């Protein structure tokens, strides 16, 4: 049975109303009611999704401006939502309040369709694996997310050595990167 948009939005907001760790990507970015969000979220927009999210939060910033200064955009999103933000792009940025980090240029293969979905999955897996420590304060969410982004970049580089890369190749290379670490 298909789920309508209102039902899907209600489900998303029920999840974030609880004290959970949640990765919020794509269309869900504009659905989350951040004022009533009790979850610890990792937001993973690209520049276009960031522009739409900012507009929904009352800040109109063009995609080109976000691409020109991803650090400022990620910090703004994090401050407005109260959530850690990963602004995906050529220079992926992680921001949590005033705290931020910009990665060096991403491997070109990360421009592959679906690579952002792979990143969301890696972040989700690492949040799940470290949930108790993150929620208790023993592990730092910011550092766990940075490690996930680094893992994706290494997997992309490894996948690119063998062939033309699709997102599944990056996902499949994650295990090899971990095994070789």
- SS3 readout for 120-150: HHHHHHHHHHCHHHHHHCCCCHHHHHHHHHH
Does the 1-105 domain belong in CATH 3.90.650.10? no
pLDDT tens column, 120-145: 999 999 999 999 999 999 999 999 99
Average pLDDT of every residue of the chain? 93
Query: Domain map of the chain by residue range?
Result: 1-105, 107-181
**Which of 5-9, 34-38, 80-84 bottoms out in mean pLDDT, i.e. has the lowest?**
5-9
pTM above 0.75, yes or no: yes
């Amino acid at each position: 049975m298909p789920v309508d948009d209102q039902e899907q939005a209600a489900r998303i907001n029920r999840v974030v109303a609880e004290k959970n760790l949640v990765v919020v990507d794509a269309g869900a970015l504009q659905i989350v009611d951040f004022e009533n969000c009790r979850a610890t979220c990792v937001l993973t927009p690209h520049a276009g999704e960031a522009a739409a999210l900012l507009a929904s939060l009352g800040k109109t910033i063009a995609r080109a401006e976000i691409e020109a200064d991803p650090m400022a955009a990620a910090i703004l999103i994090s401050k407005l939502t109260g959530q850690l933000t990963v602004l995906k792009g050529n220079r992926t940025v992680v921001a949590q309040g005033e705290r931020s980090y910009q990665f060096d240029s991403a491997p070109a293969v990360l421009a592959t369709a679906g690579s952002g979905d792979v990143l969301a999955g890696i972040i989700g897996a690492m949040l799940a694996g470290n949930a108790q420590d993150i929620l208790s304060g023993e592990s730092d969410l910011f550092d766990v997310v940075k490690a996930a982004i680094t893992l994706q970049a290494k997997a992309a580089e490894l996948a690119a050595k063998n062939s033309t890369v699709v997102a599944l190749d990056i996902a499949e290379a994650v295990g090899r990167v971990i095994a070789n670490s």
